[in-house]
Structure 1
Amino acid sequence: MSEEPLIVEDTLLLLFQPDSGTIAGENTLFYVLGGAVLADLAFAGRVEAEEHGPFTRVRATGDGDAPDPLVAPALTSLSRKPQDVQAVLADIGPHLRGPVLDRVVARGDLHRTEGKVLGLFPTTRISLAGDRRSDLVRRARAVLIDGDAPDPRIAATIALLSASGTLPQFHAEIPWGSDVYTRAKALENGDWGAAATSSAVARTMNAVIMNTVIASTVLPRT
């Protein structure tokens, strides 16, 4: 387990809604988590986007083991051959919710309680634990409400949430309005200002976010 939480961990934690104990955007969650894994690999210098005719493919770069077990399946798959971004999202995304949730619980950021309804039917209740989610919301608010310059990790997370269309569901914590929409769309479109990363990472992130938008709005949902 990485010492610092991955972007995919923070994305799931932010999407958790404490009042209801649910995760926002469940019907597009696997696209968002898949995009977050590619973001983690891009920031680690282990994947890179490349143009291939009308499509954008992602290929593995660098040597050695994956930087974290959560991103290892994606890196292993891409090490075999470059793949279209949407194909990668559809391949790795559906398998991420459980392992990422397990990781966030293991870090102590969420608490999971197992029980039974009527003494027969298994049920799981998830509740907030720790302060990390509050810190993430504070950092996102500073960017979206106050107009502060984001760091690369929170910029990537906000961009993915914006691409998936889930940001309006944060209205109670980050009041939704035209300014928030505009700032989120700017991050979604790669305008990260001082948080801009290397050209290779920026190119990969742009491809990931663009295809997360397409996947979340066009492709079949499960």
Structure 2
Amino acid sequence: MLIAEDLLLLLLYDDETGKPLTGSPGLDYALAGAVVVELTLLGKVDITGPGEEVKEGRLKIADASPTGDPLLDARLAFLAEKAGKKPKDVMGKLSKKLRDEVLQRLAQRGILEADESKVLGLFPVTRWPAKDAQHEGDLRAALGNVLKLGTQPDERTGALIALLSALNVVPKVITDAVDRKELKRRAKEIADSDWAASAVRRAVQDMQAAVTAAIVASSTAAASSSS
């Protein structure tokens, strides 16, 4: 399973209604961020640090060879054309059609199912309720161990928690925690800690910033249009 698949279907969609627990563009930017982090974990993509020839905080392709996964390879090819750009400046285009592609992959694996209906009998809508919840249960248990029991996360779990924290949905995912504020504090602590190699931490931090900026921009635009 890709980090983006875990993030979308198993964490950010309600099992009963198939509706997302958070809206756009934050969700779509988080998915794109998950892809960048995945490619960083695979050694394909990096974010430049201090003292490098390219300015700090820019996209860098470390290995352009295919991963063998069509979704990742298409995004790797896109990022190769954007080398030297700031990650936040490519997230919009990187996220294009990504959610639909991930949903279709999950449906093909029998984890989700497409429930097509019409609102008011006129407007077509597709919901994605869970069909097989085994992986989601295992994943929630792993997140609970880290967030509630204090175990050390591996890189993939740490990345998921950091992205969930940026979306401010951790209490919606771990619903049996007594203290929601402590849960959010713990998630932020993990996001900011040394749970991964420096290249992965840089990628996660940049993805967090891009997701947060997208949410703020969307909220500002909504407030302006309603005033």
TM > 0.5 fold call: yes
* Partner residue in 1 for 2:66: 65
- State how far apart, in whole Å, the 1-side matches of 2:45 and 2:201 are: 12
1:69-84 pair list within 5 angstroms: 69-82=70-83, 83-84=85-86
- State how far apart, in whole Å, the 2-side matches of 1:212 and 1:94 are: 15
- State how far apart, in whole Å, the 2-side matches of 1:157 and 1:84 are: 21
- Look up the equivalent residue of 1:19 and give its one-letter code: E
1:152-167 pair list within 5 angstroms: 152-167=155-170
Distance 1:30 1:176, change over 3 A: farther
Aligned residues: 213
* Partner residue in 2 for 1:39: 37
CA drift of 1:186 comes to 1.2
* Partner residue in 2 for 1:179: 182
CA drift of 1:90 comes to 1.5
CA drift of 1:159 comes to 0.7
Q: Which structure carries more strand by proportion?
A: 1
Distance 1:66 1:176, change over 3 A: farther
- State how far apart, in whole Å, the 2-side matches of 1:15 and 1:63 are: 30
CA drift of 1:32 comes to 0.6
CA drift of 1:118 comes to 7.3
CA drift of 1:185 comes to 0.2
- State how far apart, in whole Å, the 1-side matches of 2:94 and 2:122 are: 33
Please provide the CA RMSD for this pair: 2.4
- State how far apart, in whole Å, the 2-side matches of 1:74 and 1:121 are: 32
Distance 1:148 1:119, change over 3 A: same
* Partner residue in 2 for 1:206: 205
The answer (yes or no) to whether the contact 1:31–1:216 under 8 Å persists in 2 is no
The answer (yes or no) to whether the contact 2:30–2:207 under 8 Å persists in 1 is no
The answer (yes or no) to whether the contact 2:58–2:86 under 8 Å persists in 1 is yes
1:42-121 pair list within 5 angstroms: 42-51=40-49, 53=55, 56-82=57-83, 83-116=85-118, 121=123
CA drift of 1:31 comes to 0.9
SS at match of 2:175: coil
SS at match of 1:73: helix
- Look up the equivalent residue of 2:70 and give its one-letter code: P
The answer (yes or no) to whether the contact 2:170–2:183 under 8 Å persists in 1 is no
Q: Deviations over 1:14-54 (max 9, x none)?
A: 1111233211112211111011010111111110001565x
The percentage of aligned residue pairs carrying the same residue is 33
Distance 1:200 1:121, change over 3 A: closer
The answer (yes or no) to whether the contact 1:86–1:215 under 8 Å persists in 2 is no
SS at match of 2:57: strand
The answer (yes or no) to whether the contact 2:44–2:63 under 8 Å persists in 1 is yes
Which sits farther off after the overlay, 26-35 or 107-116?
107-116
SS at match of 1:20: coil
Distance 1:210 1:118, change over 3 A: closer
